Amino acid sequence: TGSLSCLGSCSILYDITWKDRKRKLQRPYYRILLFLSIFDAVCSFSLALSTWPIPRGTEGVYGAIGNTQTCTAQGFFNQILLGSPLYNLMLAIYYLLLGRYNLSEEEIAKRYEVYMHITAIVPSVGLAIAGLPLTLYNSANLWCWMAAYPSGCEDYNGHHHSELECKRGHSSWIYRWIFFYAPLWFLILVITIIMVMLTLSVRTEEKRYIELMIRQQSSDDIVASNSTEENKRPDVPPRLEIDVSTSEEAFHLERSRKMFYQATFYVGAFYLAWWGPTLNRLAEMITGENYFFFMLCTTLFAPLQGFFNFLVYRHGPCIA
């Protein structure tokens, strides 16, 4: 599935950088999506390598043909995957500023975009680099990531094996929490709150539009009544009333709806990619064991966000 995600992300990159790139790269939406796709493409390729980079001869791992260096490299790029949910947050913030606070794209680009990129890139790359001197990147069965070596010297809750000493990745379980799962679950919470705020904003606009239509209808009835009286006088021409504000409000409401649906689809792709790893980690934390179903979901869905984003980008609602 990592290959599908890599192809989807690369398709988005091609469309943004080669097709009408002068217009697209002027908009913060496309620039945020560009960096999101870069992170997805790199990490999806790394995940697609699966067990190949794991050191040859690792017990219980099929297809391991690598060494410590290849495993460290894959673990590093897998950790950079944190940049993907961070850019999902930036995309959600972009929609919030555009929809709820009615900022223009020029204002977002001038006042916020630089900080959005810094907030996404610095933590993801910085935490990945921090794992190198700590020798955290070792075989994690499915691929290389933060794990203790040799396998089994430390369980998922940090309990050490009495007869097996860890040579690399000491206390990797706590670094998984600090470097990845805690930030990931925090991002899921914040993105959910932003989507609730967007939902309430669109509902408020719908209520305002309905109230405006009711007032307009009442005004039309009064005008119609007056016109009927005036039409009885042949010397008075009929009046035509046009409320421009109603049409403008309708256009704004329709655009807000499309923006909300587009944001919902991108967030849905984010949730769909990360529900498997989240449940897998919860099961490990509660029972101290791995379950095949959750590992299968992690293997299938975690690398697929780039592909899901491609489907939204190509076939979802567009506000461009």
Question: How does pLDDT run across 30-42, given as a tens digit for each residue?
Answer: 999 999 999 999 9
- Name residues whose C-beta falls within 8 Å of residue 234's C-beta, 6 or more positions apart in sequence: none
Give whole-number Cα distances, 202 to 17, 104, 214, in Å.
32, 17, 18
What's the CA gap between 209 and 219, in Å, rounded?
A: 15
pLDDT in tens, 83-95: 999 999 999 999 8
Number of alpha carbons in the 13 Å side-chain half-sphere of residue 260: 20
- Residues 75, 2, 302, CA angle at the centre, nearest 5°? 75
Give pLDDT, residue 242: 42
What's the CA gap between 294 and 81, in Å, rounded?
A: 19
Is the pLDDT assigned to residue 158 strictly greater than 90? no
Quote the mean pLDDT of the chain: 82
Number of alpha carbons in the 13 Å side-chain half-sphere of residue 59: 4
Do the Cβ atoms of 268 and 228 come closer than 8 Å?
A: no
Cβ atoms < 10 Å from Cβ of 127:
18
Q: List the one residue out of 189, 241, 197 whose CA is nearest residue 215.
A: 241
Give pLDDT, residue 217: 66
Q: List the one residue out of 145, 147, 134, 150 whose CA is nearest residue 73.
A: 145
Mean pLDDT of 294-310: 81
**Facing residues of 146 across strands?**
137
> Mind giving me the DSSP string for 234-278?
TTSPPP----HHHHHHHHHHHHHHHHHHHHHHHHHHHHHHHHHHH
pLDDT in tens, 5-14: 889 999 999 9
What's the CA gap between 133 and 127, in Å, rounded?
A: 11
Structure-token match 């506000």, residue found: 319
Give pLDDT, residue 287: 76
